[in-house]
Structure 1
């Protein structure tokens, strides 16, 4: 007999089990007749209780582990470990049972799930089965929101980090019941996201049919990359990239049950005439529904960003961008990241957020960079005596050389005096070379500055600097929006992003050469500054400068009150102390230290890199912004490094958690970059304004779904800036029809003389009953 059999049989005997060979009494329950089989296999033994006890429960009762069922030495086998726990609660949040995820799983599986009572006892017999995150699901459904149904708890938690309400049933695929569907009543929409395998598709179909039978609007989507929605998001894709699978049981379209009930033909129109159109989903007129900033990805920076945003009543994006720019500046080019052989990244970040006037742009910037400015003031005062002394010595030496040169070059006087003066001039010249140029006081941050002044300030500071500004003067100059005949030399900005060398050539004065450069940019500017930018200066994007920025287009906050919470002292002080530590241990050092990814982080980033690569190729969803997308992967590494150094200035390795957190930010950056590039290139906001005005008027009517005439629209909207005449209104109505929000209703010819009746239009059902976007419950098309 082999090792595993002898090990288990001995344990059975020690615990009083009666039996031999393959039949034994099970010690996990009261077993009067042998019901436990013990059989030898190729690599160990198999245990099975025919009374229904779980194998792991029997093994645990014997004081063994599942690894003990195998013949090979225990130390060579990785034991299952609990990697996550998922509490299932009742409506009030009281824990009913807990699901534990173990990796590696038992019997060679990659993972295993086990259920426990709240006290840790295995098994959940007699306990009510509920949906995961039940309180949140019930609240969302009661509010008429959207609930996503996925297959596993990990996917639910992944979506929760994106502020999306999602759920699943215990046990995974094949375990859905109509009792679960009852908890979804009231939801305006249920979206089932199927796993891309056969069990996942069958499970999704079961959920779909159960929800549909309950009269709840439902549809099925699946990941575009990977097996499940977690894989999909990890690949850098966002919600909009989910797709309707070809195997869908029926075509759910986009129509809700309430729309179906409006009319027998399913048109949803409140009109009673025949010929009602078969509506399809209209093109959204809303500003792009952009995801909120993923605060959780900021790790130790998140508390300060959240508290400051609440205190100032500004979007977290604005504070996060300002803080990231501040942290990047504090690294001062003294760290690089070795991503792989032949690929290294700087810690320089270029960040631009858009915010309208009076949206507290400057307070948000100041909150982030004030600690750095305080440190800068201290450095200036500490360096001032030595700097002033050196400057004075340079002035004295220059005057001494000038006086000596005057005597040495004069025609009178003794020859010996001229020779002595010449020697004095030479000594002064050598001393000036030794002293160098006039030293500058330490400078870490500048606000709005010209490109020429920026180059000089950087040269004075050894080639490194940070610029945080709310007016965007540097951005305007670089874009050629004023001065230089629409042209600007952005070479310094391009080089400083990568850390390359740069030279300043000056007529009449020595050239200034910087062997390496480092610049961090953080700008919060008004949207109008970038609107139509590509039309005004197409070369600005072609230079590659725009592709170096991460963008944010945060939605303004909906509140503006006098009394706001203060940032807790402990939170503000911790942020300030971390910035101080960065300056002391990173900025103030001379050597450039190379950071690396941990092996696990490198493998994770490699998977993301490969999945992301195809999206930039022709046919990929990012091909139209491939110039920007090509730099995103490196920018995520830069963010991971900056947050790592913020947490530990002496860190030389970037962890798996930090890389995963940075990757989780990709959907946010992609969505916001699209919105900003759209604004730069097409000025879409202005083009859609008349259509938005028309949609707002239609929804404001007593019966929003009723048909209307062109004359009705003209009478309601004339006087608007864009509504110049009836021809303009007819053009807007045509555009609105092309976008799918209205449909022209052919009118029969009455045969009577006189003025023809005004054109009439049917109205899309979404005008009266707009659906809620699952990733932004407050946003309607």
Structure 2
């Protein structure tokens, strides 16, 4: 049997949990599946791109009620896709943002017509732009300050978006603080030598991409990026599709009926929200009694697993926010799939969908945090891998006892560390555990993947 490709320390592997595409609703789910089939990007990336467009199209509705006290949340999402260059995130957005860009074009024409006839409205002096592509934070705020009530920030370099390479620590911390305030729906101001920008009442949807080898920089609760910001992002870390794509001769995506339906729905929602809710008293989407019960059960389940030894103990800060994430996603799904204007409350079906997504993101976050192990242990993994190759060659086999006798210093006498490293190497196809012999003479040996040298340093 052909040897699998060993995964590098940066990792091509993520959670095996399936992206819950079907709970997006019929139009969103069919669009994500059509994109997955034709663009051949991972399904989770397709779903994230669809969800980002859905969030943008309904976020200017207002806010959504919480099940606790009188708190409300903006109906907008921060999404983070962990993927390599070449996974076609930008290609996906060419299709999912078609409806948004059509709205921008139609609104530009409408504003020009208003100027011709001399008619003015409370919104006629504003720009039609609502998408900020590949922009820095200052340019994002400039777009938000001028746009007609909602903004989508999409960028394939999340680390730059967070201000990682800004020289001034003060400026970088200001970006982090502003992104947190925007997620909460609070006003943000930016004052510089040549301009003063203030954004208020404009919900922000973010759809960013992060390189897998930067996971440790982002998910380490550093002064650069506190968890208070990172825990607001809904992450997906799918298996790569690179090297598994083929040329297809089916219909083009421009001709796909699902893509067209999605595009029309996005444009329709944006125009509806602009006419019904912009410039008026803030609207609040309520939660039905039945849906509140769904959210309460979800919260209680998460709370139990936050206890010592629970599933979510090590990601407690993100898990603490999972109810808010579930409610926000439920609101997006409810409003996007509504066909009759105003909505009175979140339904049970949408509540279940939001909780299903929140569960998925909890699993992805756990995967990411656990995956940091590879970075923390990279020197030891390389030391053990190089020892195996030097002693047995890239095609050799060996037993665990050999590590105790002649393995690398710091590993040979530590059984727990040895077993952890071997388990990681086996899972990521550096080695393969095999059994030899028969009956009582049966023993376990590890066979080295002949391609291991491609991932060693």
TM range (shorter): 0.7 to 0.9
Are the aligned partners of 1:502 and 1:517 in contact in 2 as well (CA < 8 Å)?
no
Are the aligned partners of 1:376 and 1:442 in contact in 2 as well (CA < 8 Å)?
yes
Are the aligned partners of 1:325 and 1:351 in contact in 2 as well (CA < 8 Å)?
yes
- The equivalent of 1:482 in structure 2 is 166
Check 1:288–1:309 CA distance in 2 against 1; reply closer, same or farther (3 A cut): closer
1:547 aligns with 2:225: no
Q: CA deviation at 1:545?
A: 1.0
Check 1:349–1:699 CA distance in 2 against 1; reply closer, same or farther (3 A cut): farther
- The equivalent of 1:615 in structure 2 is 305
Q: CA deviation at 1:551?
A: 0.5
- The equivalent of 1:519 in structure 2 is 204
Match for residue 530 of structure 1 among 215, 237, 240: 215
1:449 aligns with 2:135: yes
Q: Which segments of 5 or more consecutive residues in structure 1 lack a partner in the other structure?
A: 1-284, 391-433, 714-726, 744-761, 770-781
Are the aligned partners of 2:327 and 2:354 in contact in 1 as well (CA < 8 Å)?
yes
Counterparts of 1:316 and 1:599 in 2: how far apart (Å)?
A: 33
Are the aligned partners of 1:500 and 1:517 in contact in 2 as well (CA < 8 Å)?
no
How do 1:41-440 and structure 2 match up within 5 A? 289-300=15-26, 301-340=28-67, 341-384=69-112, 386=114, 439-440=125-126
Counterparts of 1:286 and 1:507 in 2: how far apart (Å)?
A: 44
Are the aligned partners of 1:679 and 1:685 in contact in 2 as well (CA < 8 Å)?
no
Query: Which of the pair has the greater relative contact order for Cα pairs under 8 Å at 6+ separation?
Result: 2
Deviation per residue, 1:213-272 (Å, 9 max, x gap): xxxxxxxxxxxxxxxxxxxxxxxxxxxxxxxxxxxxxxxxxxxxxxxxxxxxxxxxxxxx
1:668 aligns with 2:360: yes
Q: What secondary structure sits across from 2:245 in the alignment?
A: coil
Counterparts of 1:572 and 1:297 in 2: how far apart (Å)?
A: 17
TM-score, length-scaled by structure 2: 0.75
Q: CA deviation at 1:662?
A: 2.1
- The equivalent of 1:595 in structure 2 is 285
Q: Which segments of 5 or more consecutive residues in structure 2 lack a partner in the other structure?
A: 1-10, 423-434, 437-442, 449-457
Match for residue 382 of structure 2 among 690, 696, 718: 690
- The equivalent of 1:492 in structure 2 is 178
Check 1:731–1:368 CA distance in 2 against 1; reply closer, same or farther (3 A cut): farther
Check 1:741–1:685 CA distance in 2 against 1; reply closer, same or farther (3 A cut): closer
Match for residue 641 of structure 1 among 331, 345, 348: 331
Q: CA deviation at 1:485?
A: 4.1
Match for residue 317 of structure 2 among 627, 631, 637: 627
Check 1:583–1:497 CA distance in 2 against 1; reply closer, same or farther (3 A cut): same
Match for residue 470 of structure 1 among 145, 148, 156: 156
Q: What secondary structure sits across from 1:468 in the alignment?
A: strand
Check 1:663–1:381 CA distance in 2 against 1; reply closer, same or farther (3 A cut): same
Deviation per residue, 1:273-327 (Å, 9 max, x gap): xxxxxxxxxxxx9956431212222222111101101211111111111111111
Check 1:291–1:696 CA distance in 2 against 1; reply closer, same or farther (3 A cut): farther
Deviation per residue, 1:691-738 (Å, 9 max, x gap): 78469969997774657857x99xxxxxxxxxxxxx9x5456667872
Check 1:556–1:684 CA distance in 2 against 1; reply closer, same or farther (3 A cut): farther
Q: CA deviation at 1:606?
A: 1.1
Check 1:638–1:316 CA distance in 2 against 1; reply closer, same or farther (3 A cut): same
Q: Which has the larger radius of gyration?
A: 1
Q: CA deviation at 1:352?
A: 0.3
- The equivalent of 2:146 in structure 1 is 460
Counterparts of 1:573 and 1:334 in 2: how far apart (Å)?
A: 23
Q: CA deviation at 1:438?
A: 11
Q: What secondary structure sits across from 1:739 in the alignment?
A: helix
Are the aligned partners of 1:478 and 1:488 in contact in 2 as well (CA < 8 Å)?
no
- The equivalent of 2:256 in structure 1 is 569
Query: CA RMSD for the aligned pairs?
Result: 4.0
Q: CA deviation at 1:529?
A: 3.4
- The equivalent of 2:345 in structure 1 is 653
Are the aligned partners of 2:397 and 2:445 in contact in 1 as well (CA < 8 Å)?
no
Q: What secondary structure sits across from 2:216 in the alignment?
A: coil
Check 1:707–1:336 CA distance in 2 against 1; reply closer, same or farther (3 A cut): closer
Counterparts of 2:418 and 2:53 in 1: how far apart (Å)?
A: 43
Counterparts of 1:555 and 1:524 in 2: how far apart (Å)?
A: 14
TM-score, length-scaled by structure 1: 0.46
Check 1:444–1:508 CA distance in 2 against 1; reply closer, same or farther (3 A cut): closer
Q: CA deviation at 1:684?
A: 4.2
Are the aligned partners of 1:443 and 1:461 in contact in 2 as well (CA < 8 Å)?
yes
Are the aligned partners of 1:532 and 1:680 in contact in 2 as well (CA < 8 Å)?
no
- Which structure has more helix as a fraction of its residues? 2
Q: CA deviation at 1:549?
A: 0.5
Deviation per residue, 1:541-582 (Å, 9 max, x gap): 436111110101111126121226444621111111111121
Q: CA deviation at 1:469?
A: 1.9
Are the aligned partners of 1:331 and 1:347 in contact in 2 as well (CA < 8 Å)?
yes
Counterparts of 1:385 and 1:565 in 2: how far apart (Å)?
A: 41
1:556 aligns with 2:243: no
